[in-house]
Amino acid sequence: MRKSILPLLPVLVLAACSQPVASDLKLNDLEYFERQGVNVLVYSNTFSGGFNDEKNSGIEVIHHGVRTVQGGAVRLSNTPEQWDLVPQSTSRIVDADAGSIEVGLRYPDYDFDSRIVTTAVGKAVRIDVYLDKPLPKELEGDAGFNLEFLPSQYWNKAYLMDGKPGRFPRYSASLTTTRPNEEKVKQYKGYRTYDDRGTGRFVDPLPLVTGHSMVLAPDAPERMIKVTSEDAELMLFDGRLLAQNGWYVLRSLLPSGKTGKVLSWTVEPNAVPGWIREPNVGFSQVGYIPSQPKVAVIELDKLDKPRATAEVFKVNADGTTSRAFSGPVTSWGDYYKYHYVKFDFSSVREPGVYFLRYGDVETNDFIIDDSVYERITDATSDVWIPIHMNHMMVNEGYRIWHGEPFKEGYLQAPANTDHFDLHSQGPIDTKFKALQLIPGLNVGGYFDAGDFDIETGSNISVVQNLVSDWERFHPMRDETFVSEKQRYVDLHRPDGVPDVLQYIEHGVLNLVAQAENIGHMSQTLSNSVLDNYHHLGDAAAITDGLHYDPRLKPYEKSADGKSSGTPDDMWAFTTRNPGLDLQAATMFAAASRALAGYNDDLSRRALAQSKRLMKEGTELMQNNPMAARMRGRGFGNMSTNLQLYVSTGEQHYLDDFQQQIWPALDRMVNSAIQPALDAIPYLDAAYKERLRPYVEEYKHYLDSLETENPYGVPIGLGNWASSGSVVSYGTTASFASQYFPEIVSPEYALKAAGYLFGCHPYHNYSLVAAVGATRPKEVFYGNNRADFSFIPGNVAPGVLFRHPDHFENYDDWPFLWGQNEGTIAGNTSYLIFGAALQNTIKQ
Judged by the rule CB under 5 A, the positions of this chain that interact with Ca ion are 408, 421, 448, 451, 453, 478, 480, 495, 497, 499, 543-544, 546, 568-569
Shortest Cβ 824–Ca ion spacing (Å):
10
Do 447 and 570 touch, CB atoms closer than 8 A?
no
Shortest Cβ 498–Ca ion spacing (Å):
6
Helix, strand, coil percent values for the chain (each to nearest 5):
30, 25, 45
The angle formed by the CA atoms of residues 152, 156 and 157, to the nearest 5 degrees, is 95
The DSSP bridge partners found for residue 179 are: 202
Shortest Cβ 564–Ca ion spacing (Å):
6
d(CA 784, CA 794): 12
DSSP string, 615-652: HHHHHHHHT-HHHHHHTTTSHHHHHHHHHHHHHH--HH
Do 404 and 468 touch, CB atoms closer than 8 A?
no
Do 99 and 187 touch, CB atoms closer than 8 A?
no
User: What sign does the CA torsion over 371, 377, 381, 384 have?
Assistant: positive
Shortest Cβ 781–Ca ion spacing (Å):
12
Cis ω for the linkage preceding 804 (within 30 of 0)? yes
Shortest Cβ 603–Ca ion spacing (Å):
18
Shortest Cβ 482–Ca ion spacing (Å):
6
Nearer to Ca ion, 311 or 544 (CB): 544
Nearer to Ca ion, 754 or 818 (CB): 818
d(CA 773, CA 766): 7
Shortest Cβ 612–Ca ion spacing (Å):
27
d(CA 558, CA 552): 7
Nearer to Ca ion, 723 or 840 (CB): 723
63-93 burial string, b = 16+ CB within 10 Å, else e?
bbbbbbbbbbbbbbbbbbbbbbbbbebeeee
Do 781 and 768 touch, CB atoms closer than 8 A?
no
Query: What residue type is assigned to position 794 of the chain?
Result: N
Nearer to Ca ion, 408 or 811 (CB): 408
Shortest Cβ 773–Ca ion spacing (Å):
26
Cα–Cα distance list, 719 to 50, 363, 813 (Å): 10, 30, 17
d(CA 702, CA 704): 5
Nearer to Ca ion, 311 or 396 (CB): 396
Nearer to Ca ion, 140 or 544 (CB): 544
H-only helix segments in 221-325: none
Nearer to Ca ion, 152 or 783 (CB): 783
Shortest Cβ 21–Ca ion spacing (Å):
45
CA-wise closest residue to 143 among 188, 178, 107: 107
CA-wise closest residue to 297 among 733, 726, 713: 713
Shortest Cβ 459–Ca ion spacing (Å):
11
Shortest Cβ 678–Ca ion spacing (Å):
27
Nearer to Ca ion, 54 or 408 (CB): 408
Cα–Cα distance list, 784 to 444, 480, 535, 792 (Å): 21, 21, 10, 11
d(CA 412, CA 438): 6
Nearer to Ca ion, 228 or 480 (CB): 480
Nearer to Ca ion, 301 or 568 (CB): 568
List all residues 6 or more positions away from 474 whose beta carbon is below 8 Å from its beta carbon. none
Shortest Cβ 505–Ca ion spacing (Å):
11
How many of the other CB atoms lie within 10 Å of CB of 509? 20
d(CA 671, CA 635): 8
Nearer to Ca ion, 51 or 194 (CB): 51
Shortest Cβ 587–Ca ion spacing (Å):
19
Cα–Cα distance list, 816 to 152, 158, 330, 785 (Å): 13, 25, 34, 10
Nearer to Ca ion, 257 or 561 (CB): 561
Shortest Cβ 758–Ca ion spacing (Å):
29
Cα 298 versus chain centre, distance: 25
Nearer to Ca ion, 13 or 530 (CB): 530
Shortest Cβ 478–Ca ion spacing (Å):
4
Nearer to Ca ion, 380 or 480 (CB): 480
Nearer to Ca ion, 367 or 467 (CB): 467
Nearer to Ca ion, 405 or 675 (CB): 405
User: What sign does the CA torsion over 687, 689, 693, 698 have?
Assistant: positive
Do 246 and 109 touch, CB atoms closer than 8 A?
no
CA-wise closest residue to 591 among 579, 603, 608: 603
Integer-rounded Cα radius of gyration of the chain: 28
d(CA 815, CA 361): 29
The DSSP bridge partners found for residue 548 are: 564
Do 118 and 129 touch, CB atoms closer than 8 A?
no
d(CA 169, CA 227): 19
What is the 8-class DSSP label of residue 774? Answer: S
CA-wise closest residue to 762 among 729, 788, 796: 796
Shortest Cβ 484–Ca ion spacing (Å):
12
Shortest Cβ 368–Ca ion spacing (Å):
33
Nearer to Ca ion, 268 or 448 (CB): 448
Residue at shortest CB range from Ca ion: 448
